[in-house]
Amino acid sequence: MGNDLLNMIELRDFNLPTTKNEDWKYTNVAPIMKNNYVLGASLGYENHLSTVLHDFFFQDFDYYKVVFINGIFAGELSDLTGLESGIIVDSLSNFQKNNSELLSRHLNKYSTIDNGFNEINNSLSSNGLVVFVPKGKVVDKPIQVLYLNGDKTENVLSVPKNLIIAEENAQVSIIANYHGIEGKEYLTNIVTEVYAGKNSIVDLYKIQSEEENSYHIEKVQAYQEANSLFNHYNFTFGGSITRNDINTCLNDENIESHFYGLYLAHKKQHVDNHTYVDHAKPNCMSNELYKGILDGESRGVFNGKIMVRRDAQKTNAYQSNKAVLLSKSAVIDTKPQLEIFADDVKCSHGAAVGQLDENSEFYIKSRGIPQDIAKSMLIRAFAADVIEKIKIDELREQINHLVFEHLNRVEVKNN
Amino acid sequence: MLVIKNLKANVEGKEILKGINLEIKAGEVHAIMGPNGSGKSTLANVLAGHGGYEVTDGEIYFEGKELVELAPEDRAREGIFLAFQYPIEIPGISNATFLKTALNEVRKYNGKPEATPKEFMELLREKSGVLGMDPQFISRSVNVGFSGGEKKRNEILQMLMLQPKLALLDETDSGLDIDALKIVSSGVNVFKNNDNAVLLVTHYQRLLDYIVPDYVHVLSKGRIIKSGGKELALELEEKGYDWIKNDELIEENV
C-alpha cells in the first residue's frame, strides 16, 4: 500500500460547517468527513498520460484545451496553440513564478474564507487555473478546462484554486468541465475568483459530471467593475453531495450579472446551490434563473441571497428558481433572501415546485407519443429556458444529451 | 365508427356526463352544441382519454374496439385526434421534432414504415400550404409565442399530418377572427372525406357556417337533450339555449 508514504489529510482538523450553521442547514457534510484523503498533488498524473481524455470534452467547436488531474495542471495534455500573445492561460504555480506582482494584486483579494472548506482550499492548494486577459484583448475561442478527479485506490482530495482576470475591455469564455475517475470516494474542493474589469465580459460555464461517489464543493467569488458583464452557467449532473456558492459583488455602476443554473439529481444525490448577489452601487442589473430536476430520493437546496446596499439605487435584481420533482421521494428546500437597503429599486423573486404538468403530458400523448417520450419532452421543455442561455450553439445540444443520460430517460433531440 | 352508450363521467368526483348516447358513422360531421358547463369539452376529453376524467358507466366503441381502458396514445394511434381548446406550449421541442415523433409513432403502431425525412418534408409542405402557414414555424418550439389563431391552425396542421379517422375539435373556433376561422375551417373541409368523421364541439353557430354538420346535438347538464339536422344550429342561434331548456321542461312536465 502506498498509503504509508502518502500524507493523509483528516478533515476533522478543519472546522467544517454543520447543519447548525444557517448556511448549511440542509447539507450535512458528515459523510465527506468519514474518509481520510490523500492530496491530489502527492499522487501525480503520470499514469494518466495515456488515458484517453477525448470523450470527456465537449466537441464540435473550437476551444483551447486545458487539463487538470486531481487539481494538478497537466501541461502535456493541454493545447493552447494559437493563443494570442499577452493572454495567459496557465497553472497557478507557473503564473506565480512569472507574474508574481500581477498575481499578488488579485489572488485572495476577492474571496474571503467563509468556512472550513474554503480554509482547506486555502491552506492546501498550490495549483489551479489562471486565465489572464489583458486590457482590450478578446480570447477568440472558449477555454475548455477538464478537471479529472479521483483515483482507483486512494481517496483523493483535489483543491484547485482558480483565478480569472479580465482586464478593462477584455472578453473571455471559459468552460470548466468536471469529470471523475471510477474508484474510491473523493472530494473536489474548489475556490474560483473572477475579476471582471471595466467593460469586460466574462462567461463562465461549469458542467459538473463527477462520479456519483464523489463530493464536490466550489465557491465562486466574482468582483465586477463598472460596465462589466459576468455570466455564470452552472450545470450539475454528478456527485453524491454537491455544494456551490456562487457570489458576485457589483462594486460600480452599470454592471450586469447573470446566474443560470440547471441541476439534476437522482438516487440519493444531494445538490445545494447558494447564490449571493451583492449590489453595492447604483444602476446595476442582476438576473438569476435556477432550475432543478429531482428524481429518486434526491434532495435539492436553493438559497438565493440578493443584497441591495444603501447606495445601490436604481438596482434591478431578479431571481427565479423552479424545481420539478419526478418522484414522490425527492425533496427541495428553497429560500430566497432579499435584503434591500435602498428605496428606489426593482427586485423580484419567484419560486415554484411541482410535478410535470398532467395536461401537457396528455396533449403530447394524444398525438400518439408514448408516455416515456412525453415525459422526456416535458423535461426538455422545463430545462429549455436555462439551456437556451448557453451562447455556444454546439454546447446546448450536448448539455441536453447529458440531461437525459443522467436521468436515464429516453432522449429527445431536435434535428 | 364511434358508438357511445349511456356514458357517464366524473371530474374530481363530480358527475359531468350523465348518460350520453351518440353514434357517428364514417363520412359524417356532427356538432355538439350547448351552453358553458354543459359537458361539451368533457365529452371530447373523455373520448381522447384524459386521465383527469373518470368514466363511471357506459361504453365507448371505436371501430368496434372498446375505448375506455385504452391509453390516450393508443387511442391516437387507432385514429382519434383531439384538437385542443387550449393547445399546450412546449418550449425546447421544435414543431418538426414533435410532428415527426407523432407521425412515426402512429405509423409504427399501424405497421407502416417511418417517414423518410424527404417524405416528411413533402407532407409537411403540402399540409402547411393548405393552412397558409409560414414554413419557418417548423423550427420554432411547439406553440411557443404563437398567437391564439396560430395555435388553432397548428392543431389543424397536426390533424392533417396524422390523418386520423375521427377528429374531435374542441372549441376550435374560440378566439379566432373571421379570417383565421375561414382558414381553419378550410383545413377541416380538406380533411373531411367518406372514410373519416368529425365531431365539432362549439358554443356558437358561426363555425357551422364554414363546416356544415350533418347532425347537431344539444348538450345540457350532461345529457343530449335534442338532436337534429344543421337547421337546429340556426334555431339555437336565433332563440338561444333557453328555448330548448324550456321545451325540455315542458316535455318533462307532460
Give residue limits of the domains in chain A. 5-252
Q: What percent of chain A has pLDDT over 90?
A: 93
Closest partner residue to B90 among A368, A370, A377, by Cβ? A377
Residue B86 has pLDDT above 60, yes or no: yes
Rg (CA), chain A: 21
Residues of B in contact with A412 (CB under 8 A): 93, 97, 101
Residue B247 has pLDDT above 80, yes or no: no
Tell me the residues of A at the B interface, defined by beta carbons under 8 Å apart: 357-360, 362-371, 373-374, 377-378, 380-381, 383-385, 387-388, 400, 412-415
> Which grid coordinates belong to B75?
387511442
Residue by residue, what is the 3-state secondary structure of chain A? CHHHCCCEEEHHHCCCCCCCCHHHCCCCCHHHHCCEEEEHHHHCCHHHCCCCCHHHCCCCCCCEEEEEECCEECHHHCECCCCCCCCEEEEHHHHHHHCHHHHHHHCCCCCCCCCHHHHHHHHHCCCCEEEEECCCCECCCCEEEEEEECCCCCCEEECCEEEEEECCCCEEEEEEEEEECCCCCEEEEEEEEEEECCCCEEEEEEEEECCCCEEEEEEEEEEECCCCEEEEEEEECCCCEEEEEEEEEECCCCCEEEEEEEEEECCCCEEEEEEEEEECCCCCEEEEEEEEEECCCCEEEEEEEEEECCCCCCCEEEEEEEEEECCCCCEEEEEEEEEECCCCCEEEEEEEEECCCHHHHHHHHCCCCCHHHHHHHHHHHHHHHHHCCCCCHHHHHHHHHHHHHHHCCCCCCCC
Q: What is the pLDDT of residues A60-86, one digit of tens each?
A: 999 999 999 999 999 999 999 999 999
Check if the beta carbon of residue A281 is closer than 8 Å to that of residue A253: yes
Mean of the per-residue pLDDT values for chain A?
Answer: 95
Say how far apart CA A38 and CA A17 lie, in whole Å: 21
Helix (H) or strand (E) holding B236: helix B231-239
| CATH number of the domain enclosing B196 | 3.40.50.300
Rg (CA), chain B: 18
Q: What is the pLDDT of residues B196-221, one digit of tens each?
A: 999 999 988 889 999 999 999 999 99
Mean of the per-residue pLDDT values for chain B?
Answer: 92
Where does the pLDDT of residue B251 fall: very low under 50, low under 70, confident under 90, or very high at 90 and above? very low
Residue A372 has pLDDT above 80, yes or no: yes
Within 10 angstroms of residue A229's Cβ, the number of other Cβ atoms is: 19
Residue A1 has pLDDT above 50, yes or no: no
Q: State which residue of chain A sits closest to B157, comparing Cα positions.
A: A367
**Mean pLDDT, residues B78-95 taken together:** 97
Closest partner residue to A370 among B73, B88, B92, by Cβ? B73
Shortest CA gap A245–chain B (Å): 28
* Residue B40 lies in domain: 2-253
Closest partner residue to A381 among B52, B84, B92, by Cβ? B92
pLDDT value, residue B245: 66
Residue B184 has pLDDT above 70, yes or no: yes
Q: β-strand A241-250 against A214-224: which pairing, if any?
A: parallel
Helix (H) or strand (E) holding B2: strand B2-11
DSSP-derived secondary structure letter, B208: G
Residue A141 has pLDDT above 90, yes or no: yes
Shortest CA gap B204–chain A (Å): 24
Q: What percent of chain B has pLDDT over 90?
A: 84
Closest partner residue to A369 among B52, B88, B102, by Cβ? B102
Residue B33 has pLDDT above 70, yes or no: yes
Residue A415 has pLDDT above 80, yes or no: no
Residue by residue, what is the 3-state secondary structure of B88-138? CCEEEEEHHHHHHHHHHHHHHHCCCCCCCHHHHHHHHHHHHHHCCCCHHHH
The C-alpha angle A395, A376, A174, rounded to 5 degrees, equals: 15
Shortest CA gap A363–chain B (Å): 7
| Whether B73 and A369 lie within 8 Å, measured CB to CB | yes
User: How many domains does the structure of chain B reveal?
Assistant: 1
Say how far apart CA A127 and CA A112 lie, in whole Å: 18
Would you call B141 helix, strand, or coil by DSSP?
A: strand
| Whether B92 and A387 lie within 8 Å, measured CB to CB | yes
pLDDT value, residue B37: 87
Residue A143 has pLDDT above 50, yes or no: yes
Residues of A in contact with B12 (CB under 8 A): none
pLDDT value, residue A200: 98
Where does the pLDDT of residue B234 fall: very low under 50, low under 70, confident under 90, or very high at 90 and above? confident
B158 touching A (Cβ < 8 Å): yes
